Structure 1
Amino acid sequence: MEPLEPERRVIDAAEALARTLGESDNHTVAAATMDIDGNIHQAVNVYHFNGGPCAELVALGVAATAGAKQLLTIAAAGDRGRGLIPPCGRCRQVLLDHHPDILVAVPAESGPVVRPVRKLLPDTYFFPDANGRRIVRFNKRYHDPVMSGEKTTTIRWDDPIAVGPATFVFEDHPDFAHAEGEILSVERVRLIDLDPDHAAGLQSHYPSMPKDAELSRVTFRLSPS
């Protein structure tokens, strides 16, 4: 996915911090992560032969120290002009367990892209005791219908959503709006069984979705204030 403006800010922050490194081989990678309130937290790695922490893991600790409970996006960049770099396997597993819906910035031929962390770890083991709270993303245009209770269902493709508590985040919202809620049910439906206009809208949103796709109809509600 192409980064939205907030995600580009995270990438820029990681790369800017990385450009200040290079004097010490003990700190060679910078990371930045954004929480659901739009705050950016930065950190660098601590290299050591016995397995010092990567910049991404230090950034998780920095964010937690600042009181951030849920993170939206993370990016890492290398010193000496290496630019954006993907996370190692250990970091991917930690991110998946602690922040299962975080978007990770990685380099691509066309430039930076963001991917759900689960896409970086297909068929992985998931550590259930981490208790990472789920995030469900909505386009910002759905903010008012969701908040008013007018919209209580959404249909998703290739977006595993589980029944239980979740935080609803409105992507690219100028105020980083989000709300606590609950996923009530997840029902499997087929694209070919939907109303043609609805199906056409989904195909526009998911251009790579096959015509015989299986989808999830998700029913949700906001938590009482």
Structure 2
Amino acid sequence: MTTISAVDRERLIAAARSAAQHSYAPYSQFNVGSALLFADGAIVTGTNIENASYGLALCAETIAVGKAMEQGRRGGLVAVAVTGSGDGVVTPCGRCRQILFELAALGGTDPVIWSCGPDSVQEKTLSELLPDAFGPGSL
């Protein structure tokens, strides 16, 4: 795993918290923000976007990965921060874990995931959150 400085960790968490402020969550009132850190120091953020047809909602991590891909980023993912407006720690859902895995697999990385709550941060690697992942090598 890549060593990430305390400054970059705090910068990434702050970016996720800032992104959550732009959430569109009129149904759940649960605002989520995500920030992706790449090896070159770039940060790409995303926020959740709900829809009246609940199944069409988009998670913050999915938005961030889409933006990163649109920027031409294929790999180099070293860390992810996720935060939400609830009282507890927010971890990526199963779908987002899979989407993050696909991006990480393109660069052969196992990014650290900081799941943030208002007063605490849980640290795990993506492979700990999604063991035995299905990816490009599984086809």
TM-score range, shorter chain: 0.7 to 0.9
- Larger-Rg structure: 1
Q: 1:13 to 1:35 in 2, by over 3 A?
A: same
> Superposition RMSD on alpha carbons, in Å?
3.2
Higher relative contact order, structure no. (Cα contacts within 8 Å, ≥ 6 residues apart): 2
Question: Higher strand share goes to which structure?
Answer: 1
State the 1:22 CA deviation: 7.0
Note the C-alpha offset of 1:107: 3.9
The question of 1:126 aligning with 2:124 is answered no
Q: Which runs of 5+ in 1 are unaligned?
A: 132-225
Q: Deviations over 1:104-132 (max 9, x none)?
A: 11248x8314321000123x34222589x
| Alignment deviations for residues 158-186 of structure 1 (CA, whole Å, 9 cap, x no partner) | xxxxxxxxxxxxxxxxxxxxxxxxxxxxx
Note the C-alpha offset of 1:17: 2.4
* Secondary structure of the structure 1 residue equivalent to 2:55: coil
Match of residue 77, structure 1, among 68, 83, 99: 83
TM-score, length-scaled by structure 1: 0.48
Alignment partner, residue 64 of structure 2:
59
Q: How far apart are the structure 2 equivalents of 1:83 and 1:3?
A: 25
| Structure 2 stretches lacking a partner, 5+ long | none
Distance 1:90 1:11, change over 3 A: same
Of 96, 103, 116, the residue aligned with 2:112 is 103
TM-score, scaled relative to structure 2:
0.72
SS at match of 1:15: helix
Change (3 A) 1:98 1:22: closer
- Percentage of pairs with the same residue: 29
Higher helix share: 2
Q: Superposed, which structure 2 residues align to 1:11-50 within 5 Å?
A: 11-21=13-23, 24-25=26-27, 28-48=31-51, 49-50=54-55
How many equivalent residue pairs? 128
Partner Cα distance (1:40, 1:84) in 2: 21
The residue number in structure 1 matching 2:124 is 115
